[in-house]
Structure 1
């Protein structure tokens, strides 16, 4: 049972995926392909979907990108979000193309009449809009008044955009407040969550490369989720977007908020390690990314203490000198030659999950 008490937010549906209102926290990402190249965009979305992505956002910089949206939408199996900046005509075109949601800031699309047109079109089709405030692009008047992108300035900006939509009877709204600073991000979301019940999308923007980005995202997103704040999330990394998904599920799994996929337990290595453990663990981790069944898998470098240290794992291997063991729940099942350890583990996981791992 998960001990965390989540804040109750208004519920939205994005392409049939429930957001907020007690629904599970949803994992999303964004393509880094040229949306005008619909084939490469679809291929990347398919890889993201296989990795566990549940909502996907694509950049829509011009009319050529809009023209490809309906083709992309028909070819994929997860909801499609159009990322729009400045031009309300792109938003209207994306809605007509059948996207499931928009990401735009109504204050940046050309004035009240243009906001009214977008709000009316989105309301007619039941398409939610995410308002996304970024510390690096805060309005000049707010920066002048607050001095820098403070949590108060970020929240003020978000609520101003919200009112622009509410003024046109539109309330299918989700909000994000992103900063590259973890503490500023946490403080901003905490303040916003005390002032609204619209669902919130979590993220630490421009988090960085795999290690730094994962650390900053785990801290920022994890702290907020522990507080009960957040309905969707994206881990933003300077990597292929598929690499964001395991980090996202790792955060959710560690907080017992989602139970999808493999939790990999492995020892840090020490003087008792008698096999080349690090490359083995990395390869096993790569291969197990596609597994959806909740499973705890251990890869240990010592047959003396390994099984006991990983007693809570559903299945695992522990290497020795030229051989190793397969174990379940800490109990030895069989002895296996070292060269066959990894394959034997993967075969056992395929049997346990019914999912194919090896090509």
Structure 2
């Protein structure tokens, strides 16, 4: 069973049904039913035209449901419009679906779920497992999202920034269940980049590739987090790094800088350094200045404080940190790191322990606890 092929065909089939007159929610249900049928039938009887097969199967599923619906009298005329069999059209309407699934009327979590199902072709069960929620809960979330967007009319271009935020949310979920969401986000962003010529789409794709290239080195065999400075750079994926840098350079050449291009430039400087000691922290600070100018993001300011601490010394980093809200996530961990760099292990150990209590996940908590224990052990010898 070629699951990647099924996923790649899903958005085209869905949009073709919508163009024929099916409502979005009904069309999406029909496509999912057709995918289930394909999983059952294709292993023994693979079609010569997979896309055409899916379109025909989904359209019949839709007609069956329409006839059984309370409004079947209004919809029965759709049966007369079934096109003759033949090769499936090659039009790619993925862009329309991205904008629809990332509509501003949806909550971020609903937009992510709908994007994964309608554009990504994942089943409700797969999405629920990835987000560690019951399948029934995810089904309700997707149903509400479909009802919300069913009445949306697209008489003007969608918001690319909203689509990119949704894809970035997917990417940052990483891996859980039986779906690698980071890889899925890269696949969807590649497809978006093929459908629209936009420097920020390219910037996000470059950023994803550059981060994903370091994935194998981010955790030790026992699952412990490995900080960037300690990672084995021989385990980084150099092909992904080269591709990410090429995509980024082409985007930057358009001179329409955006936040994802700036983040990708920072990631590229890390990826380009042969060793941690070779990192060009001065340039990284300059890129963080651009990122802060573009977004005024507290998280960008926090990361900039770390970069300042590396470029100009820990005292300068602590001064930059002092100007930020102490309740920011990771603020305490950054303070601990900078105090350790400044030669104050007692304060650093205390702050590492405090940061561990606030950590958002077990892996980060374990890492920060180990840092505190390491410093306390060193002071006691």
The verdict on a shared fold, with TM-score over 0.5 as the criterion, is no
Query: Which structure has the highest helix share of the two?
Result: 2
Query: Which structure has the highest strand share of the two?
Result: 1
TM-score bracket, normalised by the shorter chain, equals under 0.3
Q: Using CA pairs below 8 Å that are at least 6 residues apart, which structure has the higher relative contact order?
A: 1
**TM-score w.r.t. length of structure 1:** 0.24
Q: Which of 1 and 2 has greater Rg?
A: 2
